[in-house]
Amino acid sequence: MKTYVQPGDIITLIAPYAVLSGGGLLVGSIFGIAMSDALISSEVEVKTTGVFDLPKTTGQAWSQGARIYWDDTTKACTTTASTNKLIGVATAAALSADAVGRVLLTGAFTL
C-alpha cells in the first residue's frame, strides 16, 4: 500500500514542555508516554497505546473501566472530564489516596 507510513503506536513529537521518560505528554489532541527524557521543544518518541501506571489526582477513587482524562496543568490523570482530554480507561481500581493509577491508553488522539 503506497499510503502506509507506520503503525502509529510509537510516534515522534515535539515536546511542549520538559518531560521525563515514562511521563505523560499532550501535544494538541495527541497523548502519549515519553520513551526518553526530553527538553522543551525537542523531539521525543512517545508510545500512544498500551497499559501504563501513571500519576493520578489524589482524592479520587477509580473503578475498573472508568474513563480517564489527562489534566495537562497538573500532569496527572483524573476522572474529571471538564476541559481535560480523554486518554483511556482504568484497568484496575485505585483508592482515593493512591498517587498512581493503571490506564489503558485509547490511541493516538484524545477527545
> How many helices and strands (H and E) does the chain possess?
0, 9
Q: How is residue 104 written as a grid cell?
A: 489503558
Residues 63-105 have pLDDT tens digits of 999 999 999 999 999 999 999 999 999 999 999 999 999 999 9
CA distance 90 to 92: 5
d(CA 33, CA 88): 13
Parent domain of 90: 10-106
Give mean pLDDT, residues 26-54: 96
**How many separate domains does the chain show?**
1
